[in-house]
Amino acid sequence: MEVASKPLSNSSNVVVGANSGSANGFTTRASSINRALDQIGDKWCLLILQEVFWGVNTFTPMLQGTGASKGVLSDRLLWLQNIDCLRKDCSARHPVYHLTKKSIELYQNGLMAMVWERTYFSSPELDKVELVHNGCGKAFWPVMQCSSCDDAVRSKDIQFSPGLGAGVDQRVTKTRRRSSTTSDNQNHSKTLYNNLINLLGDRWTANLVALAFHGLKRFDEFHQELPVATNILADRLKLLINEGIFSQQPYQHSPLRYEYHLTDKGRDLFPYFVTLLSWGNKHCSTGAGDPMALTHNPCGNPLKAQVRCNQCFDVLVATEVHFKL
């Protein structure tokens, strides 16, 4: 499928003053999702956290599990320690990496990733894995519900408005973290949500999906909010179409221009982003308050989304869930 390869003709004007930034940076609307993505949204960080959630927490098994090179794994382990998402315990013969209070709270994000993965991808290994809730002793499926009215949380029921911390964030174009293009994690037997990571482990791709939840549809709208190079945007939009997250619909015929709409598969990523947003609000705050306020329209209350067990409806925490093969 063809994606508009360049922005609309008036696009030279869309990079407004606030977005001009420096050569290595730019500003975007303040967003807890972006802040969270800039900290842990890198593919390697997500793969490492997935391993640790699974209970793999020493270097060599992590190498095998993630498919990262030694250099990249060392680099990301250091980064995750620097941002207080891993704690290194050197008392044993091989250092052990533990989750911290901050990263344990990404667990709900991992559960929502797993739900999406199981909905859209079938793998013999993953399909065998059963989640057991220690609280009720039952095999369960995680569901996201509004804490006020207990309804399922759906993207169409949410209203976004500027929060106390609304403003802009200064961001860097390139992170100083080194990257690597090789990954053979596809063959890893314990993958919980590798397809999601391969898709969203690129922050621009993840940013585009997040923006689509705010109702953005057109190339120049995306570019105004995310002023990265237009070829990068076009490339990521194409990827999202090929992966069935966006569908392309013409809105203008001469010249032909398309809007990008979330498909059902794309919309079902909403709980993943909601957990990322909550985590970002709590752990990546600048102190100015939440940048965005979410209202749950069915009950009219500020949205507090909880990930719960679908058997007993208790809120799920990392220490009360185990995996059974």
What are the residues binding Zn ion (CB under 5 A)? 133, 135-136, 146, 148-149, 296, 299, 309, 311-312
Least Cβ distance, residue 28 to Zn ion (angstroms): 29
Least Cβ distance, residue 65 to Zn ion (angstroms): 28
Least Cβ distance, residue 192 to Zn ion (angstroms): 19
User: Closest CB to Zn ion among 143 and 200?
Assistant: 143
User: Closest CB to Zn ion among 139 and 288?
Assistant: 139
User: Closest CB to Zn ion among 188 and 296?
Assistant: 296
Rounded-to-integer distance, Cα 307 and Cα 109, Å: 9
Least Cβ distance, residue 274 to Zn ion (angstroms): 13
Least Cβ distance, residue 272 to Zn ion (angstroms): 19
The distance in angstroms from the start CA to the end CA of the chain is 40
User: Closest CB to Zn ion among 43 and 133?
Assistant: 133
Rounded-to-integer distance, Cα 300 and Cα 149, Å: 9
Strands (E), 230-303: 246-253, 256-262, 292-296, 301-302
User: Closest CB to Zn ion among 38 and 290?
Assistant: 290
Neighbours of 120 (CB within 10 A): 16
Do the Cβ atoms of 212 and 266 come closer than 8 Å? yes
Rounded-to-integer distance, Cα 237 and Cα 220, Å: 12
Q: Which of 107, 96, 104, 87 is nearest to 57 (CA)?
A: 96
Least Cβ distance, residue 138 to Zn ion (angstroms): 6
Burial letters 141-167, b for 16+ CB under 10 A, else e: ebbbbbbeeeeebbbebbeeeebebbe
φ/ψ (deg, to 5) at 126? -70, -40
User: Closest CB to Zn ion among 269 and 307?
Assistant: 307
The count of C-alpha atoms lying within 13 angstroms of the C-alpha of 20, restricted to the half-sphere facing its C-beta, is 4
CA distances from 127 to 80, 193, 248 (A): 30, 12, 31
User: Closest CB to Zn ion among 65 and 142?
Assistant: 142
Q: Which of 36, 29, 27 is nearest to 277 (CA)?
A: 36
Least Cβ distance, residue 133 to Zn ion (angstroms): 3
User: Closest CB to Zn ion among 148 and 155?
Assistant: 148
Which DSSP state fits 7? -
Least Cβ distance, residue 144 to Zn ion (angstroms): 11
Q: How many residues does the chain have?
A: 325
